[in-house]
A and B are shown apart, each in its own frame.
Chain A
Amino acid sequence: MFRSRLFLGLTGCGFLLCVALLTYGQLRDGNLNGKRQLVKGLGLTDLALFSEARYTRHPSQADLFSAFQDYPAALEHFPSGSLIAPAPVGLNRWISIHDPNERRP
């Protein structure tokens, strides 16, 4: 019964490894006091995770309905943001700057 004992032994080790990893994570405080001190001292309200737009940098402080206010194709946290495409760029949307002295054909 060598195989069955080996299997049970390895599975037990794997199980213990899983428990150890999960417990290790729960016991580590990850500088929690330092982070709380920072939040309290500076009055921070949000995580600095997504800095591409105002409402993603400070989602808790953003306007109530702030989708599309920065850029129409920006990744949204609203489902609609991934469904509605940006407005197509047509000829009437181009801005051409000419030199006033330039003679146009």
Chain B
Amino acid sequence: MRRQLKILEHALTSLLRRKAKNLSLLMVYSFTIATLGSVLFLTHALKSEASDSLAAAPELVVQRLAAGRHELIPVAYAERIRTLPGVEKVTPRVWGYYYDALVKANFTLMGTAGEPGELELLAGRLPGAPDECAVGSGVAALFGAEIGDRLVLIDSHEQNRLYEITGLFTTASSLLTNDLILMPETTLREFFAMDADRATDLAVEIYNQREVNTLAKKIRFHLPDTRPITRSEILHTYTTIFNWRSGMMLAVTLAALIAFCILAWDKATGISSEEKREIGILKALGWETADVLAIKFWEGLAISLTAFLCGIVAAWLHVFVLGAPALVPILKGWSVIFPDFPLTGRVDLLQLLTLAFLTIVPYLACTLIPAWKTAVTDPEQVMRN
């Protein structure tokens, strides 16, 4: 133990002798790990948010397809599905999109039929009267609206409609409700000029979770123009999307990664004449090859471990404290309103260990192999060269 401490002391002294070079390498190394870590942290946090929140999504959503596209579904289909054994409840959902030409943003309008009860993340109350609505924080921020203000929307007959804002969804829920405008179902039907016997889709609740796929098949059999979407398919969609987005972001940072690899390879394999002379002198003084390798191992570990720890802490702060300002523009795409969401700092330990393995081990190998080559050469020859 004491011997290893002394070798470490020697390795650190050796690193400090080439301060500027090693410091610049440490900074580039930390930056690369912080970039990769940020991408992994952000996408994993979004995946976790999606899977945790949407675990309460309807077990089955039934859409109607016409000419290969989503079409309004007859409410009578709800009665047909309700008769299937195992179905607990079928709720027709009325929702749609609204493009506001003034602010050039898309909103999601949703109707509330029954009383969903008290909502923890809603300040104020849910709309009850026909001229009331509740809005998400993104909508409120865009119009500068507060509870009690009036929202002007243009309906499908090109008529201005005024709705009083009775509730505001808090920022904590903005990942789910940012662009949402909630109003009573009858009001929304009037707004969209939607017939009372039609709905956007049907939300189906099922008694036994293990029967979801069987019931989806039965619905397809009895109502062939429908498309049932199960909750597991919803969750799977989000996993796929974030894997793709994460892949895209990693591709963007690939250039920086390659540049770092070239730098690390050049630094580690191209052992300088000064370092070669140092190894030669140590060998001439009676040091074993194993001791020389131990020094190089500690040198490599000191740089790579410090860079890894600095990079991971920087990535965590960047994503979960600052809100990933460097990555959000890539995620944002063309959205006019993008949620200002606080992410829960969930990290996949396996991903972190993989990142550690893929960054620390190759660097150590790059440092040890040329040092070993030099250490096994005759000291006199090394010093002469």
Contact = CB atoms under 8 A, between A and B. Distances in A.
Interface in B178-200: 178-180, 182
Interface string B319-358: 0100000000001111111110011111101001000000
A45 B61 contact: yes
Contact of A17 (B13, B313, B349): B313
Given A21-B313, A54-B97, A75-B334, A48 B178 contact: yes
B153 interface: no
B334 A31 contact: no
B334 A52 contact: yes
A42 B110 contact: yes
Interface in B273-308: 302, 305-306
Nearest to B121: A34
A90 B317 CA distance: 49
A48 B180 contact: yes
Contacts of B138: 48
B234 A49 contact: no
B302 A51 contact: no
B55 interface: yes
Interface residues of B, number: 87
B374 interface: no
Contacts of A1: 5-6, 9
Given A4-B8, A39-B54, A45 B234 contact: yes
Interface string A38-52: 111111111111111
Given A32-B53, A42-B110, A60 B238 contact: yes
A6 to B, nearest CB: 9
Nearest to B136: A48
A24 interface: yes
A7 B320 contact: no
Contact of A34 (B50, B105, B120): B120
Given A4-B9, A26-B346, A61-B201, A36 B56 contact: yes
A4 B320 CA distance: 33
A46 B234 contact: yes
Contact of B49 (A45, A47, A60): A47
Contact of A14 (B70, B93, B310): B310
A47 B50 contact: yes
Nearest to A21: B316
A15 B344 contact: no
**Which of A5, A26, A30 lies at the interface centre, i.e. has the most chain B CB atoms within 10 A of its CB?**
A30
Contacts of A25: 316, 320, 344-347
Contacts of B121: 31, 34-35, 37-38
A29 interface: yes
B207 interface: no
B342 A59 contact: no
- Counting from the closest, the 5 A-B pairs by CB-CB distance are A25-B345, A41-B116, A30-B344, A34-B120, A14-B309
Given A22-B347, A38-B177, 19 more contacts: A4-B8, A22-B316, A22-B349, A25-B345, A28-B344, A31-B173, A34-B121, A35-B52, A38-B119, A39-B57, A47-B46, A47-B53, A48-B174, A48-B177, A51-B105, A57-B106, A60-B233, A61-B70, A63-B69
8 contacts: A4-B12, A35-B53, A42-B110, A47-B49, A48-B180, A49-B331, A50-B331, A57-B108
